Chain A
Amino acid sequence: MSTIVEQAGAAAEAAAPERALRPPSYWPFVVPALVTVLAVIIFPWLFTIWMSFQEWKVGTPTTFVGLSNYLRLPADPRFVESVGHTLSYTALSVLLPLVLGTFAAVIFHARFPGRGLLRALFIMPMMATPVAIALVWTMMFHPQLGILNYLLSLVGLPPQLWVFHPGTVIPSLVLVETWQWTPLVMLIVLGGIASLPTEPYESAQIDGASTWQMFRYITLPLIMPFLFIAAMIRAIDAVKSFDIIFAITQGGPGSASETINLYLYSVAFVYYDLGYASAIAVVFFALIIALTALLLVLRRRAQWNALGSET
């Protein structure tokens, strides 16, 4: 609406400078993106929700089945197990990069020669093509010929089966995920540390505080908001992690590393049970939203606690 007014007024603008100061309409700038987002993002969401109420296998006509796709979920052992795998995979893939990334940020905050180049090398794992690095990790995990068991033997540890054993497959995949995504946590926390005031450190130094004390009582409380952002991003990415798991184990051995995302893939594109897959997608999406909301609540509570301790 306002665009028409604006176009009509465009010619008059030069003649009437006082009108030109009225902010122009910016809608025409947004419309192409709006159409794109509607087509490739909003439409799939709505279609997925609609399909989750249908029985739809490829080659058969669709029938409305109400909530029965959703009711299948709790009785599906593979789905229930995949939820467990997803949660343990996510918990570990948030905690480890968070701890290591904070440590790395403290290191990279210091000045040392070659810092720029070393930082570029350090962030390479997260920019590299996931399938390509998954391929090399698969070779490294090899029980007989892999370099990892050789490294273990150097320090006197027994060889492991890594991703080839149900008991160690999730921690092994988390190792890859941690290697890959610790840099992102580092970058976020480094931004946080760089924005801190220097005065507290100066006075702490005068009072004779140790490096650890300064980190524990000054840096850590001040970078808490950044740690929460990093944790949230990490949780969202870990919960929907796909490339690494798919390329290394395809959910195996058996279904020991099958996360919700992997199971969703199988139901949709191996069994072509599209209605049921859509229900899984909807529940999965709800789970991610819930996880994000939980972290936001935790963050708010932490802020209140911080305020409470200050007063």
Chain B
Amino acid sequence: MSVNTLLGRLGLAFGVFLIVSPAILFFLWMISLSVKFEVDNAAYPPVFWPEHFAWKNYTDVLSSNRFFTYFKNSLLVTGGATALAMLVGVPAGYGIARMAAHKSAIVILIARITPGLSYLIPLFLLFQWLGLLGTLWPQIIIHLVVTVPIVIWIMIGYFETTPIELEEAARIDGATRWQVFRHVALPVAKPGLAVAFILAVIFSWNNFVFGIVLAGRETRTLPVAVYNMISFDQLSWGPLAAAALIVTLPVLLLTVTAQRQIVAGLTAGAVKGG
């Protein structure tokens, strides 16, 4: 029996190693690429731990003044699209949950399965017609396609589980429906707000397809800027890997610190943007 338990433990340890190592090794290799000079990155057999670290790769990326333009663009697009989505999506999730209007959620589901590109053609023409191309507005607006369904979907799920008795009691005491929403429903749904916010931020931050069409030279977000580095500015691997790591680092940190919320949100709605 104890031999069996030992074998079971070893098997489990091996299983854990097997499934987790592709993720861990990938990110370790990404870090390794980003801190090596060209000599080491072009070496065969590959160098894992360089003798000299190329911190220059990072300082080069960070000190280029366009990087901060792109970082600011990413912040504004993700921040704007998430804030607007919370503003319209949270009350909507509340309304849909309280009206038990489950049919309206189908629109959200269909939005979820529609390819992002099919929104791009009409909205691209619309933005061109409105003369908005060249500003950040087209990207903020089109990112709503990603963020609004996520927020509504997750908030429906949360408001459905919050107790309605409390709200009824508040209404009997004379509160208006906005007061009930603001002071009774919303505080109870705080964990849901965090989940919706985090997922909306991540999927908006990661979005690439809207940017390659709508972003001009001055309005690129970070993912688009990194993609453009491959084709134009930069051919050496070190700075490229450093830039890639900088772009995705905020999201990775969020994943580790807010793992519980992310897992709850993804398994509740299994929503993904794009």
State whether B120 touches A27 (Cβ < 8 A).
Answer: no
State whether A123 touches B255 (Cβ < 8 A).
Answer: yes
> Residue A297 at the B interface, CB < 8 A?
no
> Residue A206 at the B interface, CB < 8 A?
no
Please report which residues of chain B, range 61-116, place their CB below 8 angstroms from some CB of chain A when the two chains form the complex: 84, 87-89, 91-92, 94-96, 98-99, 101, 104, 107, 111-116
Nearest Cβ distance between residue A162 and chain B, in whole angstroms?
15
Residue of B with least CB distance to A182: B19
* A187 to B89 alpha-carbon distance, docked (Å): 25
Chain A residues with Cβ below 8 Å from B137 are none
> Residue A128 at the B interface, CB < 8 A?
yes
> Residue A261 at the B interface, CB < 8 A?
yes
Which residue of the partner chain, among A25, A34, A236, A261, contacts B113 with CB atoms under 8 Å?
A: A236
Which residue of the partner chain, among A17, A40, A147, A188, contacts B123 with CB atoms under 8 Å?
A: A40
* A112 to B20 alpha-carbon distance, docked (Å): 13
* A31 to B227 alpha-carbon distance, docked (Å): 38
State whether A285 touches B23 (Cβ < 8 A).
Answer: no
> Residue A229 at the B interface, CB < 8 A?
yes
Nearest Cβ distance between residue B41 and chain A, in whole angstroms?
7
Interface segment, one of B50-58, B188-196, B238-246:
B238-246
> Residue A264 at the B interface, CB < 8 A?
yes
State whether B91 touches A32 (Cβ < 8 A).
Answer: yes
Nearest Cβ distance between residue A22 and chain B, in whole angstroms?
9
Q: Please, how many residues of chain B have a CB less than 8 angstroms from a CB on the other chain? A: 96
Chain A residues with Cβ below 8 Å from B274 are 237, 240, 242-243
* A261 to B120 alpha-carbon distance, docked (Å): 12
> Residue B200 at the A interface, CB < 8 A?
no
> Residue A68 at the B interface, CB < 8 A?
no
Please report which residues of chain A, range 171-225, place their CB below 8 angstroms from some CB of chain B when the two chains form the complex: 179, 183-184, 187-188, 190-191, 211
Which residue of the partner chain, among B20, B119, B171, B252, contacts A118 with CB atoms under 8 Å?
A: B20
Map CB proximity to B onto A227-271 as digits: 1 under 8 Å, 0 otherwise.
001000100110010110011000000000000010011001100
State whether B208 touches A268 (Cβ < 8 A).
Answer: no
Chain B residues with Cβ below 8 Å from A43 are 122
Interface segment, one of A45-53, A72-80, A87-95, A302-310:
A45-53
Which residue of the partner chain, among B20, B168, B267, contacts A187 with CB atoms under 8 Å?
A: B267
Contacts A26-B95, A140-B29, A147-B29: A135 and B241 contacting too (C-beta < 8 A)?
yes
State whether B16 touches A112 (Cβ < 8 A).
Answer: yes
State whether B88 touches A243 (Cβ < 8 A).
Answer: no
* A144 to B46 alpha-carbon distance, docked (Å): 11
> Residue B247 at the A interface, CB < 8 A?
yes
State whether B113 touches A131 (Cβ < 8 A).
Answer: no
> Residue A152 at the B interface, CB < 8 A?
no
- In terms of DSSP, what is the predominant structure of the interface of chain B? helix
Contacts A40-B141, A237-B274, A268-B120: A150 and B45 contacting too (C-beta < 8 A)?
yes
Chain A residues with Cβ below 8 Å from B8 are 211
State whether A48 touches B122 (Cβ < 8 A).
Answer: yes
Residue of A with least CB distance to B85: A36
Map CB proximity to B onto A261-285 as digits: 1 under 8 Å, 0 otherwise.
1001100110000100110011011
* A303 to B202 alpha-carbon distance, docked (Å): 36
State whether B20 touches A122 (Cβ < 8 A).
Answer: yes
> Residue B132 at the A interface, CB < 8 A?
no
Nearest Cβ distance between residue A273 and chain B, in whole angstroms?
11
* A190 to B171 alpha-carbon distance, docked (Å): 40
Additional 20 contacts, C-beta under 8 A, given A28-B177, A129-B208: A21-B171, A23-B98, A24-B177, A26-B94, A29-B91, A33-B89, A33-B91, A45-B118, A51-B122, A118-B16, A120-B256, A129-B244, A130-B223, A131-B244, A133-B30, A135-B240, A233-B270, A240-B115, A261-B117, A284-B118
Q: Which 5 A-B pairs have the closest CB atoms?
A: A29-B95, A33-B92, A47-B122, A132-B244, A26-B95
Q: Which residues of B contact A (CB under 8 A)?
A: 8, 12-13, 15-16, 19-20, 22-24, 26-27, 29-30, 33, 41-42, 44-46, 84, 87-89, 91-92, 94-96, 98-99, 101, 104, 107, 111-125, 141-142, 144-145, 148-149, 152, 168, 171-172, 174, 176-177, 181, 202, 205-206, 208-209, 212-213, 222-224, 226-227, 230, 237, 240-241, 244-245, 247-248, 251-252, 254-256, 259, 262-263, 266-267, 270, 272, 274
Q: Which residues of A contact B (CB under 8 A)?
A: 6, 10, 13-14, 17, 20-21, 23-30, 32-37, 40-45, 47-48, 51, 100, 103-104, 107, 110, 112, 116-125, 127-133, 135-136, 138-140, 144-145, 147, 150, 179, 183-184, 187-188, 190-191, 211, 229, 233, 236-237, 240, 242-243, 246-247, 261, 264-265, 268-269, 274, 277-278, 281-282, 284-285, 288-289, 292
